[in-house]
Structure 1
Amino acid sequence: MTRRKRRKSGGAKWLRRVVAACVAVALLPLALSVFYVWPAVHPVSTLMVRDLVTGTPYQRRWVPIGEMAPVLVHSVMMSEDGQFCSHRGIDWGELNVVIDDALSGEPTRGASTIPMQTVKNLFLWHGRSLLRKAIEAPLALVFDAIVPKKRIMEIYLNIVEWGPGIYGVEAAAQHHFNRSAATLTRRQSALLAVTLPNPAKRNPAKPGKGLNRLAGIIEKRAAGAGDYVGCVR
């Protein structure tokens, strides 16, 4: 075999390995999504993995959704993703509004659904990135198709960050209110829900006027949620 042929053969092998590695990385979230359907599995987020690797202490104790105050579940849904039970991973109506605002030069708001936020926490990196958003959307569709809604909500509420090193609703309830997630009041649940968009700067235990106002709105929405929350009962 000539040197040129050997070079071509080596290049082809390298390319095949790269393609195989990319396929494996792409299929990993799919395999994990199937694995995460099982209630006995307690997933961790990429932020928790980062803390483990860097030796940063964090708090998290997994609790089943049945051991969370229902009003907490309803409050988070009404605050973060009111159409959670009816969409299939992406709220296309909300997304179209965001796109229209962007095209018209208006300030845009987030359109991330709970499945989108869940796959971001489970599989992707944080921070603003168009690439991450482009990956996040199809992952949310797949995740929502595989994992039941109630289980998605359970996973989300156990991995979402409620402050530096505070992961999941049980750790948040204990840290901010010195009580379990099962005994949260309506106002405490609403305060935790409206903290989620910016947990680094919002403190549900010491809310200002703005946070209290938002909590009041979510408290009313959760009380009248009705069929909107049927998929998590």
Structure 2
Amino acid sequence: MKFIKRFFKFIFKTIFWLFVLSIVVVVIFKWVPVPMTSLMVIRSIEQTDDNIKGWKHDWVPIEEISTNLQLAVICSEDQNFLKHHGFDIKAIEKAYENNKNGKKIKGASSISQQTAKNVFLWPNRSWLRKGLETYFTFIIELIWSKERIIEVYLNSIEMGPGIYGAEAASQYWFKKSVSKLTKYEAAAIASILPNPLRYKANPATPYIEGRKAWIVRQMGYFGPLNYPNRYDKE
């Protein structure tokens, strides 16, 4: 009986301290740049091409990331990003219906969910990871501003072979700073995000050219990019 009590006490303490640690880490990353992600490490270990061993990752503040790229990625990945609280319910319902009807499986992960996964978790799919992704999504939406979420997202995601973050991607694909990207260059980078190891932003294939044109049209429909007041969560 004592063993069982001790066991459950140990489990409870472990869960409690993991919860506290998770909150502390999220609070720290509200201001501190994310140095690396699990995907960077995993890809580096898996990489067999000696020319792209390791990774390129140059953190830049949101003020130095072209608004064109911010808008292109939002229009490409999550057009309701500024409206929802981490989960795009309509997109989730649509994806569920598509999958249930036997159509091509479509994801419905918001930018917030992708950020939670990229920064705090691992890439492999499982119910455990999905549950933790939901938890971290809720926490970052509660503690971070929308502007901080997109800043971390654009500085952390994979954008090419061994290329992570907007600045490294801009230098790799267009040989210029991310602050100087044009609409079409930004759309080119956004267009490869579904599979940055398969697609190339430059030179673009006909498929990517089509994606670029669609994203630029969506950027026009979206209008000016206005984040909620960042100081609401300071």
Structure 1 match to 2:116? 119
Larger-Rg structure? 1
What amino acid maps onto 1:153 in structure 2?
I
| Alpha-carbon distance between aligned partners in 1 of 2:156 and 2:177, rounded to the nearest angstrom | 16
SS in 2 for 1:223: helix
1:230 equivalent among 213, 226, 229: 226
Residue 131 of structure 1 pairs with residue 128 of structure 2: yes
Identical-pair percentage: 31
Structure 1 segments, 4+ long, off by >6 Å, are 51-55
1:45 matches 2:37: yes
TM-score by length of 1: 0.87
C-alpha contact 2:44 2:162 (8 A) present in aligned 1: no
Amino acid at match of 1:147: W
Q: How do 1:84-233 and structure 2 match up within 5 A?
A: 84-226=81-223, 229-231=225-227
Task: Describe the superposition over 1:14-61 as per-residue Cα deviations: whole angstroms up to 9, x where unpaired.
Answer: 4433332233334433222222222xx101322235578899521111
Letter in 2 for 1:84: F
Structure 2 residue identity aligned to 1:9: K
Q: Which residue in the other structure is 1:28 paired with? A: 21
TM-score (normalizing by structure 2): 0.86
AA aligned to 2:159 is W
Corresponding position of 1:19: 12
- Tell me what 2:76 maps to: 79
Question: Relative to structure 2, which stretch is displaced further, 138-147 or 14-23?
Answer: 14-23
- DSSP-derived class of the 1:224 partner: helix
Q: Which consecutive residues of structure 2, in runs of 5 or more, have no partner in the other structure? A: 48-52, 230-234
Question: Which amino acid letter does the alignment assign opposite residue 227 of structure 2?
Answer: C
Q: What stretches of structure 1 of length at least 5 have no aligned partner?
A: 1-7
Cα RMSD, aligned residues only: 2.3
The structure-2 alpha-carbon separation of the partners of 1:22 and 1:222, relative to structure 1 and needing over 3 Å to count, comes to same
Offset from partner CA, 1:49-76 (integer Å, 9 cap, x none):
5578899521111111111111111000
SS of the counterpart of 1:120?
helix
